[in-house]
Each structure stands twice: as C-alpha cells, then as structure tokens.
Amino acid sequence: MTPDLFLLAAIVMCGVTVQTTAGFGAMLVCVTLGALRWPIAELIPLIVPALLVQSVWTVMRNHHQVQWGFLLRRVLPIMLLGMVAAMLLTGRDVSAFRPLLGGLILALGLRELFRRVAGPPPPPWQSTLGIFGAGIIHGLFATGGPLLVWSIGRESFTKNQLRTTLNAIWMLLNTVMIGIFVFRHQVTTDTLTRSAWMLPAVGLGLMWGERLHHRVDERYFRKLVWVILCMAAIPLLIPR
C-alpha cells in the first residue's frame, strides 16, 4: 500500500465511523478531507465502492429498522432524479465546483454548530425541494446527507430507524452512481483494486462506529464532526 493510499484509507475509516454512528457523513468527511490532497473527480469513484460495503452491512444487520415505504415513495424517486440530472449535466470533472463544496459545508456546519434547538419541520414543498437539492449535491460530490437530514430528520423515526433508513438510501443511490461511473470508465479494475485496499479501514470504522452509536451522545459527537469539517472546508473555498 502506497503512502497516499494509506492516508486515504485512514480518511475512509474516519468517514465510516461517523456514518455508522450517525447514519450519514462518510462521503462528507472523505470528500472534504480528501479534496485537500486529491482532485474530487478522482476521489469519488475510489471511495464510493468502498463505502457501499458499509451501507450494505448496516442495512443487512438492521433491515427491520428500514422505513421502506417512506424511502421508496417519498425520498428515492426525487433524490434519484436530482442525482442523475447533476451527473449527466456536469460530466466527469466537478473540480470547478470545489469552492461550492467548501461554501456548502461551511454554511451547513455553522448552522449546526450555532443551532440551539430543533425548529419545526419544514413544510412539504420545502422538504421536497430539499430532497431534490440533496440529490443534486449527491450527484456532484456524493455528499447529499446534510441537506437530506434537514429535509426528513424531524420525521417520527427513532434514532436507529433514521440511521438505517439513511444507509439504505446511500446503498441504493451509490449503486446507481457506481453504474454510471463504470459506463464512463471512471470505475475500472484498477480503481476497484485500490478501493479493495480500503476494506480493512471500512471494517475498523464499522467497529468503532457501532461502539460510538451506543455509548456516545450523538449530539456532541455531531458537533465535533462539524467543527472538523468547517476547518477543512475553508481551504476548499480557494479555487485551484
């Protein structure tokens, strides 16, 4: 394993730990930190196949917690439409959108850090628009989690139901995304080999994430994650 691949595997382990704990955030952590070192267009096809393992494992282990009716009727069609539209319209190279990623992460992070109490749920039209926007962001950077959580996070789900349902969404969307990457030759035998080297890191992240999910106050854990992401987002605001 090269030093670069070892560094990327360490970032993936951090991302998987966060997502296994909270239900989202793996790609957000990986893309935010990884974009400081690698082009985003090169990074995403490497990471998505490895993180698919995390989503599949979480869903299989907790399949009874998935709110399939809500997912298939309310979220998946709208988000999938936004994701595919963004991928088709922007093409392979999304490096021009790097400052947009930085600004989005910083804005969402500051909102989460300074939000005192949870507000009322958004009205249906705002929730639908938010889900579509999450699909667009997922198509660009595979990081639609924060906007999706804002759109659906105040539904009457338990913590475990929300976490597992979110992972089911990433499992389905990222499978479609990998298919598009294969069609574009962005996922190849070579990239899959490098992705496979990250599987031990995925396993470690799953182990630590399960422990944190049951033992750590999720609110404080998320605050810490957002502090780190806000700091990492600032260099992304500067175009290369």
List, for residues 163-181, the tens digit of each pLDDT value.
889 889 999 999 999 999 9
How large is the average pLDDT for residues 41-62?
A: 91
- State the pLDDT at residue 172: 94
Predicted pLDDT at 82: 93
Judge whether residue 95 has pLDDT over 80: no
Q: Look up the pTM and report it.
A: 0.84
Residue pair 101/236 in contact by the 8 Å Cβ criterion: yes
What does the pLDDT average to over 179-190?
Answer: 93
Tally of structural domains, the chain:
1
Asked if 236 contacts 45 with a C-beta cutoff of 8 angstroms, the reply is: no
Give which of 198, 157, 216, 191 is closest to 20, Cα–Cα: 216
Q: Give the pLDDT mean for 12-18.
A: 92
Q: Which domain holds residue 132?
A: 3-236
Residues in Cβ contact with 229 at an 8 Å cutoff, skipping those fewer than 6 apart: 28, 29, 32, 105, 109
In the predicted structure, residue 204 carries a pLDDT above the cut 80: yes
- 154 has pLDDT over 70: no
Nearest to 92 by CA among 214, 183, 28, 191: 183
What mean pLDDT do residues 46-71 have? 92
The sign of the CA dihedral 28, 33, 39, 44 is negative
Which of the residue ranges 57-61, 130-134, 201-205, 235-239 would you say has the lowest mean pLDDT?
235-239
Residue 130 to residue 127: CA distance in whole angstroms: 5
- Mean pLDDT across the chain: 86
Distance CA 70, CA 221 (A): 27
* Range 207-234 average pLDDT: 80
Question: Average pLDDT, stretch 197-202?
Answer: 95
